Structure formats: structure tokens, C-alpha cells
Amino acid sequence: MNRCMCEHRIEVDNLDNGEIINHTILLIKGHIRQPRFPLPNNTTKKCVEEQLVLRLRQQSVHADSAGELQQHTPISRNGQFKLLCDLGQHVSLAEEVQLQLDFSFCNTSHQLEILYKAADSSNKKYRLQPLYITCSKQSVPEELVHENCEKINLNLRLVQCIYAEQLRTAGFGRRTFTINGDCQVFESNLSCEEVWQQNEKDLWQNFAQELLTSSNWGEDSKLKFVAFISCTRYDGAAVAASGDFSYANIRIHLKGHAALGGGGLALFGAAYLFAWPQTCNAIQTCFGSTKEVDLTELPDDSNYRRTYGGVYATTLGAVVHEIGHTFDLGHTQDGVMGNGFDYVNRVFTLDNLTEHLPDRIIQHVAPKVIAQVATRPRFTQLKRTTNSFLDKYHEQKTSDSFYFTRNCAVILAHHKWFRIHNGSADEERAGDAEITYDAVNNCVISAGDNHPLCLIEVRCMDNSLVKYWYELQSGKDIDEIYTFHLPKEAHEENHYLFVLTKTGLTKRFNEY
């Protein structure tokens, strides 16, 4: 074998040596350079290696106790690989664990060390709790509860990884939210019949209210919830009888369903969990599944892909999107908070072809905004690009089409649920800062000295679509910005101002 003649190089794109990871599912993206290296003696004969091997070892003080995880992953024609590691499953995760990653391909190898830290200890306060909502007098088989809770646990950890990846890409490091614990069953006062009669906004209102007043969860204002309604019901027979398989008709025959986020709650129906994986190993297979959805039995929400993989992508993308609203994000034309959330699959799959799915009509959000702050010039402004097919192609190639636009990334990076807290009293007093709008001078002002302005968005009242945004950057010779004069264009009918400070305070002005 001429294997040793190969000259490959393994490159990891999204992980640095020594990087600190606060989330349990890790996506590792990279390339093999010269993956099909021709052997010199015979140019028609090429290296036939097709798999990359990762060995993951825990560097423990008890040298022999640590187990080794080994994973094989295919490489694409151009040498790309994407690996999902479940750190939570394969190593015993104490608060802090040093992990050694050993990649090998053919005759080449590459090493990395990372530090897993359960959660930033200073960021323990602000968390996200997954819930599985059952109705009063509803008997859900124990096994189904278990299975669905496991799916919710796994996929919320995946969403946590997605946020970390996206913010790292945007230049803010691996900031993400912290999960409070395993999915818990929450019993509602509503009966299934009552749930089936309500629309998603009423369901959101009702469950948000019940959670606020519950003895278990109501006390803690630093918890947000991601909840799934267990009794979502699909009448496939009626859809089949009507012969109308449009999404609108499917939605009409889906009762007790929601995909709505805002304030402290992101609410979903459980009907689409059929397409979700229960183990980390199954994630990439599920995204790639071309199995067709039988619409007489199961509902479809895949932006007309009508496959299990499409349903998984669209409904998981919706979770990323709706959770985004609970973190005060508005809508954008493209990206996760706009037309791009169907494409979450592309983050995990290789050799993505361009998909041209229909654009969505941006829906309403359940609003609830907190906040405060202020500034002065020096801003960048978003100019919307045109939505041509070519743009779309380019976008999908370069960024998997699944990304947070800059303004969204800035909000997340400064959000209380994402920030690294120094635990100082400043943080706690933050609520006292006064962010005001001065109508006479047409400016937003942060009155306190400690809360410089960070971002100002002009959002539509109807659907929270961001029309303009201004990022305030203090330069070397410029002090932090506390007063921001609104440009003329910012005064739009039927719009409101969303203001964010560098310290993570937010405030909404309906009148400005």
C-alpha cells in the first residue's frame, strides 16, 4: 500500500485549541485538504480513504478511568466534514473537564484540546427550562411522555449548540443560553377539549399565565420556558377527504398547536416530534431523511418539502426562531428571524444544494419587551439586499443560509441570558437606569453613567419587522455613547423603537 505517500492535511474550521465550551453538543466542522491525493506511481489510482476518525478522551487526574469515544464520519467529495459530538453522553461531565480530540484521516492526524465547563458559574441565574404540558385529566402513556421529553432535552441542547455556533461565527464567541435542567411535565388546568378550541395566541396567553401563577415556576423571573403541548391533534382523515393538502388546510386540521415565542415563553405543539431524533447519533440521519410524510396520518410543516427531514428542519428551525423572540429579537427579512429558519438542516449536512423554498409571510409575535439606555452618532446601518435567486445561492453557499443577521447577533450577545455576568451590584441595579426619549431634541438618552447605548432598531408595530437599525460603536478616542440623535428616516408611521444598552438593558418606545 502506498498510503504513506498521501499528503493530506486536516483543518478544523470552528474550534480553536484551548477553546472553552459551555454546551454539551458540539458541532465540529472542517476540511481535509487534498482528500483524493493521487498516488505518484500511478496517477489513476487515488487515495480511497472515505472516513475521518475522531477519538475523544477525557484528560482526567485518574489517568485510567477516562473512557474514549470514537466516532467515524464521512467526508464529502471536496473533503468537507461535519461531526456532532455529544459530550454529555460520552464523558462523565463534572463542572470542568479537559478533553483531548484526536482526528485522523489516512496517514494524517491532528490534535486539539478543549475545556468543557458545565455552565459559567456566574451565569447560573438566567436559564431556560423545557416543559411538556399535559392537560387536566389527560392520561398520556408514560412511555410517550418519556420519549417526548428525551427528544425535547436532546433538541434543546442542539439549539443551545446552534446559538453558540452562530454567535461564534458573528464574532462574539460561543455565547449561548443555559438550560436549567431536564424537561419537566407541567399539568395545565385546561382540558384537552379546551386546548383544541383555542388558537395559538390564546394558548400562549393561557399557559404563560398558568406558569406565572404556578407555585413551582412562578417565583423565578430569571427563568424562561420552552414548552410543548402534548395533546396536539391532527385530523388526517378530514384533510384526505377534502383533497386539499395545502399547509393552510393542514393547519386548520391541527388542533392544540402553536409555534409562538415572546416574553418568557416559547410555545409549540408536540405533533411534529415524530420527525425528531432521540439520540445525538440520529440527528444528522434525521435531517437527511427523505422519507415522505403520509398526510393522511401525520401533519406536514416543512415548507413543502414533505419529508421527515424537511419537517425536522422546519420545526426545529421554528424553535430557534421562537426562542429568539423570547430573547427580544424582532423579525428580519432573511436569516433565522426571517425566511431562513427552514434551512437549519444545512448547518449539519454536507454538500448542500441550493434549495429555493417559498418565502414566508412573517407572522405576529407575542410581544413583551423589557428595558432601557442611550447614545450619539457613529452608527452602521443595515441596507437590505435584494432577494434574487443569485443572492440566495450565494448566501446558502457561504453561510448555510441559517444565520442571525448582525443586529440580532448584537442583541443576543448583550442579552442577560447570554452575557458573561461579573456578578457585580451594577448588574442588579441595572433596572434603575433610565432610558428616555427626548422629543424636543429627537434623541434617545441613557441617563445613568454605566449603561452606554449599543443598538437601536426601528420595528414595525404589526410584525416587529426591523426596518432600520443602528449599531453604536465607541471608538478609541470616543467615550461610550449615551445620547443618540435619531436620523430622519427613523420616524416611520406605525413603528416603534427598540433600544439596547451594552449592559443588556432593553426598552421599547411606542411614541417617538
- Applying CB under 5 A, the span of 43-51, 119-127, 196-204, 371-379 interacting with Zn ion comes to 43-51
| C-alpha–C-alpha distance, residues 400 and 394, integer Å | 9
Q: Find where cell 453558540 sits.
A: 164
What's the closest the beta carbon of residue 81 comes to Zn ion, in angstroms?
Answer: 14
Closer Cβ to Zn ion, 45 or 429, answer by number: 45
Closer Cβ to Zn ion, 66 or 203, answer by number: 203
Number of residues that bind Zn ion (CB under 5 A): 4
Q: Work out which of 26, 32, 47, 458 binds Zn ion, going by CB under 5 A.
A: 47
Closer Cβ to Zn ion, 49 or 342, answer by number: 49
What's the closest the beta carbon of residue 364 comes to Zn ion, in angstroms?
Answer: 8
Within 10 angstroms of residue 8's Cβ, the number of other Cβ atoms is 19
Closer Cβ to Zn ion, 48 or 478, answer by number: 48
Closer Cβ to Zn ion, 106 or 208, answer by number: 106
Closer Cβ to Zn ion, 262 or 504, answer by number: 262
What's the closest the beta carbon of residue 75 comes to Zn ion, in angstroms?
Answer: 11
| C-alpha–C-alpha distance, residues 27 and 346, integer Å | 12
Which amino acid is residue 88, in one-letter code?
A: G
- Applying CB under 5 A, the span of 48-56, 117-125, 141-149, 167-175 interacting with Zn ion comes to 48-56
Residue 260 found at the interface with Zn ion (CB under 5 A): no
| CA dihedral of residues 273, 277, 278, 282 (deg, nearest 10) | 170
Within 10 angstroms of residue 137's Cβ, the number of other Cβ atoms is 8
Integer Rg of the chain from CA: 24
Closest of 305, 309, 295, 205 to residue 254, by C-alpha? 295
What's the closest the beta carbon of residue 317 comes to Zn ion, in angstroms?
Answer: 11
State whether residue 415 is helix, strand or coil.
Answer: coil
- Applying CB under 5 A, the span of 9-17, 49-57, 61-69, 84-92 interacting with Zn ion comes to 49-57
Q: Work out which of 25, 54, 106, 259 binds Zn ion, going by CB under 5 A.
A: 106
| C-alpha–C-alpha distance, residues 52 and 76, integer Å | 11
Q: Work out which of 6, 183, 293, 319 binds Zn ion, going by CB under 5 A.
A: 6
What's the closest the beta carbon of residue 26 comes to Zn ion, in angstroms?
Answer: 26
Within 10 angstroms of residue 379's Cβ, the number of other Cβ atoms is 18
What's the closest the beta carbon of residue 481 comes to Zn ion, in angstroms?
Answer: 29
What's the closest the beta carbon of residue 148 comes to Zn ion, in angstroms?
Answer: 24
Closer Cβ to Zn ion, 47 or 344, answer by number: 47
Q: Strand 259-262 to strand 265-269: parallel, antiparallel, or no bridges (unpaired)?
A: antiparallel
| C-alpha–C-alpha distance, residues 438 and 460, integer Å | 21
Closer Cβ to Zn ion, 6 or 156, answer by number: 6
What's the closest the beta carbon of residue 251 comes to Zn ion, in angstroms?
Answer: 16
Helical pair 406-414 and 142-169, crossing angle rounded to 10 deg: 110
Q: In what order do the strands lie in the sheet with 9-12?
A: 9-12, 25-33, 80-86
Which residues form the interface with Zn ion (CB under 5 A)?
6, 47, 49, 106
